[in-house]
Amino acid sequence: MKRLGKYTILFERCPAILGHAAVGGKKEAEGPLARDFDQTFLDSYLAQESWEKAESTLQTEAASLAIRKAGLEKQAVSMIFAGDLLNQCISSTFGLRNMEIPFLGQYGACSTMAQTLAMSAIMVESGAANYACAVTSSHFCTAERQFRTPLEYGSQRTPTAQWTATASGSAVLGMGRGIRVRHVTIGRIKDFGVTDVANMGAAMAPAAAQTLLDFFTDTATKPADYDRIYTGDLGEVGSSLLHELMQENGVKLENHQDCGLLLYDCALQDVHAGGSGCGCSASVLCGHILNRMERGDFKNILFMATGALMSTTSSQQGESIPGIAHLVHLQADS
């Protein structure tokens, strides 16, 4: 493992994704990626007493499935990196507390899947972990209650608003054959002064552009060198802005897709500008994307999850919304 350029880490042994799983809710089961989920639930409570407990259950199921698909027992996992959108990451801590795996909580807002995947890869590559698990989640109802208004209020959603996914994704990394982590680029915080909490795409797009540019500079590569470039829940607004920002820097993205636009049918499912939430890019990666790579559709992709680093307190105090984006380069074995 060594530094490549200024912002990128190059893995020499290249940890592999040994098992992965995606779970989702009713809306996700009705979307275009329904077949890529390992498990879906039709009840938003998941037979629990609260939405928060339901989200914890999403993480429990996703992590357990990924570990099982890796052919491991949970006792074999050296550490688990997990995070979510709720205060103090309660979905992760309560969802994983009975697994008795050494736990490191993460917060990167909707970029958390890329962050946990990067940390897992670093630990396995360094030898600090034999196996490491990355997992994150979100839930439409818990996010609305914390960040916006109670569902009972029935507030009008603006066209730029995105729908928080009720979903979770998990991946288990170790040494072996499979889809390997080749590079990781840790993003820098970018803040262009966006204050609209219903326009996450605009807040995150500058960070996405910066991280992509940093990666291409460090690796001396270009978009055409990759089968696909996936971003995490920029949605329609953020994706359009990303393309504009990249073109301003002389880079044209012709092979880009956004997880927030893949997860739902925006026209038929009334999600406005697309999907969002930690579970959005996590479930699309750990279901749809990795499934396609295993089938041989793609061999070389960039996965870049994006996050809006806001809180209810900062928003109520009139602060702008800082953005972050972390990138993971994945390659399938020949």
pLDDT of residue 45: 92
**200: domain CATH number?**
3.40.47.40
Residues 185 and 75 in one domain: no
Residue 152 forms part of a structural domain: yes
Residue 8 forms part of a structural domain: no
Residue 1 forms part of a structural domain: no
Give the CA distances from residue 296 to residues 35, 228, 252, 301, in Å, rounded to whole numbers and listed in that order: 17, 13, 25, 12
Residue 160 forms part of a structural domain: yes
Q: How far apart are CA 91 and CA 206, in angstroms?
A: 28
pLDDT of residue 155: 67
Residues 207 and 306 in one domain: yes
Amino acid occupying residue 8:
T
Residues 157 and 21 in one domain: yes
Q: How far apart are CA 229 and CA 285, in angstroms?
A: 12
**Angle CA(95)–CA(284)–CA(139) in degrees, nearest 5?**
40
Residue 46 forms part of a structural domain: yes
Residues 184 and 91 in one domain: no
Q: What tens-digit pLDDT sequence spans the chain (334 residues)?
A: 999 999 999 999 999 999 999 999 999 999 999 999 999 999 999 999 998 999 999 999 999 999 999 999 999 999 999 999 999 999 999 999 999 999 999 999 999 999 999 999 999 999 999 999 999 999 988 877 777 666 665 567 777 887 789 999 999 999 999 999 999 999 999 999 999 888 888 999 999 999 999 999 999 999 999 999 999 899 999 999 999 999 999 999 999 999 999 999 988 998 988 998 999 999 999 999 999 999 999 999 999 999 999 888 888 899 999 999 999 999 998 7
Q: Where does a domain end: 119, 151, 174?
A: 174
Q: How far apart are CA 278 and CA 167, in angstroms?
A: 8
As for how many domains the chain has, the answer is: 2
Q: How far apart are the first and last CA of the chain?
A: 21
Residues 165 and 242 in one domain: no
pLDDT of residue 143: 78
pLDDT of residue 177: 92
Residues 167 and 294 in one domain: no
Residue 2 forms part of a structural domain: no
Q: Where does a domain end: 128, 158, 174?
A: 174
Output the pTM of the full model: 0.95
Q: Which of 136, 114, 144 is closest to 232 using CA atoms?
A: 114
Q: Where does a domain end: 174, 195, 210?
A: 174
Residues 98 and 204 in one domain: no
Q: Domain residues for 215? A: 179-332
Residues 81 and 166 in one domain: yes
Residue 28 forms part of a structural domain: yes
| Both structure tokens of 225 | 């060198």
Residues 111 and 191 in one domain: no
pLDDT of residue 310: 87
Residues 162 and 235 in one domain: no
Residues 97 and 223 in one domain: no
Residue 59 forms part of a structural domain: yes
Residues 102 and 147 in one domain: yes
